[in-house]
Chain A
């Protein structure tokens, strides 16, 4: 079980301390962009920047004949995702949600159960995203302003507590349906995430979850699997593609107003993330198999 290995637990505890510091010291929402940028650049993007190496680690699940075929498929998936967002934002959003639900759930379940139950992976990821969105639903309506079917819903009769109650209720009902080796610790960890989602704004919530509960454990797991001599040496290997991802984001931003979101920076950022996530999900699916 991975959770019994200290590094997974440690990264989550670091995240918890970070989150509690933000909550108790009442760090203003104005810093959320800075927190997001720092976490994404230092942990979030790097954890996906060694996909080209880890795709060839597990011989049983290797699907690529060469690096060329890997990069062709990888970049094609990124391009397909961007085209989806351009021509059908609803389909782009739907794809992002479905893929993210599975990927986040798959990573979350490590240490509590094996990753073979795909429905469980998906449901857990869906719970995480649902809670993130429900606990920040008024902010989300502003971000998804272009999606009028959602942003025009009048939610003023409800307060934030109502949405927390709904997300916890759904979590409880879904968790009891599955056979999970460590059901209670998993539920307990999800409860902590929900507390963070409630008390911080959407960008900070996502940063903390994505950085410390998802990316950092995966980053350390990748380091262990690649058997590098030092973490620094491994981390340096993530840098070239982190930089490329950044350049990709900047280039896309140059065309942003014509193609994508018209000055909605947060939505734009999520489109970039979703584009990078799509191929990454397939690589990680092979990587975490049986973990």
Chain B
């Protein structure tokens, strides 16, 4: 095992469930990257950019999960900074998938994702005054703007949607079905992140009761599961539209 450890700074300890989810995160993202790259050669020309972006999303995540696993295994605590680096780079690429499928909405989705990330980062890092709940609220509003724009709210029978949602609904072939999957990811999958945010910033806040409510579930497990579902799932949904 020591010979294999040339690339890893530290080994996971027995019973380290959180560390194990980091490990699973890194290898599953790497496997997904290989899969999407292989499929890139198989799909129709118009979907090639989408498959490349899907591979890029999981590839960037694989690099950062490798780092996060290492930081965790070395006992340096929760890798919040590395998570944000990963999200800053991958979230815009995820919203780009909608623009690639529909050809519309890149500008508004980029702006919404910028607001969501910047305010989320300020809230979690404590960079500015106002408290994490206020910045979290701003971040949440941007998230709902994005959910509206891509038509995710129509999945729960709220009949309002932006240009991207309309374009998805009116598209041909498998795109509406793939779009529906992506909308579910935005609606359900992405809602895991606010949960992680609340758990991570709960100390001393009015929502501190959320921690015992979730049975002391570590924030990192919530984020790791959320990341794996969303990043790989996003790519799989695009692949579903692209195959054949």
Contacts and interface: CB of A to CB of B under 8 A. Distances in A.
Contacts of A183: 106
B100 interface: yes
A68 interface: no
Interface in B97-136: 99-100, 106-107, 110-111, 113-114, 117-118, 121, 125, 127
A88 interface: no
B193 to A, nearest CB: 16
A172 B95 CA distance: 12
Contacts of B125: 159, 161-162
Contacts of B52: 185, 188
Interface string A152-163: 000001111110
Contacts of A267: none
A24 interface: yes
Contacts of B89: 164, 168, 191, 194-195
B121 A195 contact: no
Interface size on A, as a range, is 20 to 34
B88 A164 contact: yes
Contacts of B92: 168, 172, 187, 191
Given A24-B63, A184-B96, A188-B52, A161 B107 contact: no
A229 interface: no
A23 B60 CA distance: 12
B130 to A, nearest CB: 15
A176 B113 CA distance: 13
Interface string A86-103: 000000000000000000
Contact of B53 (A26, A158, A184): A184
Contact of B84 (A165, A172, A176, A187): A165
Interface string A19-34: 0100111100000000
A176 B121 contact: no
Given A184-B99, A188-B56, A162 B85 contact: no
A172 B114 contact: yes
Contacts of A198: 85
Contacts of A173: 110-111, 114
A191 B95 CA distance: 14
Interface centre among A25, A157, A176 (most CB of B within 10 A): A176
A266 interface: no
Contacts of A20: 63
Nearest to B113: A172
Given A172-B114, A195-B60, A162 B121 contact: yes
A48 B206 CA distance: 62
Interface string A161-181: 110110011001101100000
A23 to B, nearest CB: 7
A291 B111 CA distance: 31
A260 B159 CA distance: 66
A192 interface: yes
Contacts of A169: 114, 117-118
Given A161-B88, A165-B118, A191 B81 contact: no
A26 B88 CA distance: 22
Given A20-B63, A162-B127, A173-B110, A184 B88 contact: no
Contact of B81 (A25, A159, A175, A194): A159
A172 B92 CA distance: 8
B117 A165 contact: yes
Interface in A187-204: 187-188, 191-192, 194-195, 198
B96 A185 contact: no
Contacts of B107: 176
A195 to B, nearest CB: 6
B7 interface: yes
A66 B49 CA distance: 46
A26 B93 CA distance: 26
Nearest to A26: B9
B63 A23 contact: yes
Contacts of A23: 63
B36 interface: no
A14 B218 CA distance: 39
Given A24-B7, A195-B89, 7 more contacts: A157-B127, A161-B81, A162-B125, A164-B85, A164-B88, A168-B92, A195-B85
20 contacts: A20-B63, A25-B7, A161-B81, A161-B84, A164-B88, A165-B84, A169-B114, A172-B110, A173-B110, A173-B114, A176-B110, A182-B49, A185-B49, A187-B92, A187-B93, A188-B52, A188-B96, A191-B92, A195-B63, A198-B85
Interface of B: 7, 9, 49, 52-53, 56, 60, 63, 66, 81, 84-85, 88-89, 92-93, 96, 99-100, 106-107, 110-111, 113-114, 117-118, 121, 125, 127
Q: Which 8 A-B pairs have the closest CB atoms?
A: A176-B107, A172-B110, A161-B84, A169-B114, A161-B81, A168-B88, A165-B88, A191-B89
